């Protein structure tokens, strides 16, 4: 796996690059937002928010408009509003500095499992699945509504794919967070509502993902 580290502070970036390399990753490093946006070939991005040229949130937003590459925000900004905003803009995880290398590596591998081909190992349909006008293809990570492609973030795709595993079945918040985020998810549960709202908007039908008794969700059949 090739990881892009976006960090302008050498005292953080250099030991991080060395540590990740020791763990077997191929690592590139850039020190600003322009470098991150120009870089190609990364399998995952570790993105600092405090950059000399662009705010990290803006870099995250721009990356997400052109790529589905997994993004983990790594920042000293640990307020809930910052974590929610990062996830809303398309980040797949949010790690607050200071952090341990082992925890970061575990999060990298967890994100890679969730957004990678391993999705097909869940027992869900591996090819194209048609649910009304909604078409979902796990192999190509393609989603379309009435034949029109819909651009989803990796997290949005994973959420939709989970609900599509058994259309009409009710899923609790806990089940969704464990499956799509992490069994040890530490962040606010509000992030689930943010992603559901985004999915409803992108799919063009707010009623396609139904809320059941305010705490559970299901995909309308």
Sequence spans of domains, the chain: 2-115, 119-219
Domains 2-115 and 119-219 share a fold: no
Instruction: Specify the pLDDT at position 56.
Output: 94
CB distance 36 to 28 below 8 Å: no
Token output for 167: 């259309």
pLDDT surpassing 80 at residue 150? yes
Q: Give me the architecture of the 2-115 domain, per CATH.
A: 3-Layer(aba) Sandwich (3.40)
Would you state the CATH architecture of domain 119-219? Orthogonal Bundle (1.10)
Task: Read off the pLDDT band of 137 (50, 70, 90).
Answer: confident
Q: What average pLDDT does this structure show over 11-34?
A: 94
DSSP letter (8 states) at residue 119: G
3-state SS, one letter per residue, for 15-82: HHHHHHHHCCCEEEEECCHHHHHHCCCCCEEEECCCCCCCCHHHHHHHHHHHCCCCEEEEECCCCHHH
Q: Give the pLDDT band (50/70/90) at residue 18.
A: very high
Say yes or no to pLDDT of 79 above 80: yes
pTM: 0.58
Q: What is the mean pLDDT of residues 22-36?
A: 94
- Return d(Cα 124, Cα 127) in angstroms, integer: 9
- State the average pLDDT for the chain: 85
């Amino acid at each position: 796996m090739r990881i892009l580290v976006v960090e302008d502070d050498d005292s953080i970036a250099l030991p991080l690059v060395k540590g990740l390399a020791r763990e077997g990753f191929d690592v590139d490093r850039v020190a600003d937002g322009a470098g991150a946006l120009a870089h190609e070939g990364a399998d995952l991005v570790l993105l600092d928010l405090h950059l000399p040229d662009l705010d990290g949130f803006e870099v995250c937003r721009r990356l997400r408009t052109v790529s589905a590459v997994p993004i983990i925000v790594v920042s000293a900004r640990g307020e809930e509003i910052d974590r929610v905003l990062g996830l809303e803009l398309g980040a797949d995880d949010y790690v607050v500095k200071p952090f341990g290398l082992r925890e970061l590596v575990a999060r990298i591998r967890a994100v890679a499992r969730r957004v990678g081909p391993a999705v097909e190992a869940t027992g869900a349909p591996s090819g194209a699945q048609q649910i009304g006008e909604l078409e979902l293809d796990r192999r190509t990570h393609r989603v379309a509504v009435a034949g029109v492609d819909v651009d989803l973030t990796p997290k949005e795709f994973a959420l939709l794919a989970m609900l599509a595993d058994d259309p009409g079945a009710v899923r609790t918040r806990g089940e969704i967070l464990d499956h799509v985020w992490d069994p040890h998810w530490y962040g606010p549960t509000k992030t689930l509502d943010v992603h559901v709202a985004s999915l409803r908007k992108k799919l063009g039908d707010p009623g396609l993902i139904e809320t059941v008794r305010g705490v559970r969700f299901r995909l309308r059949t």
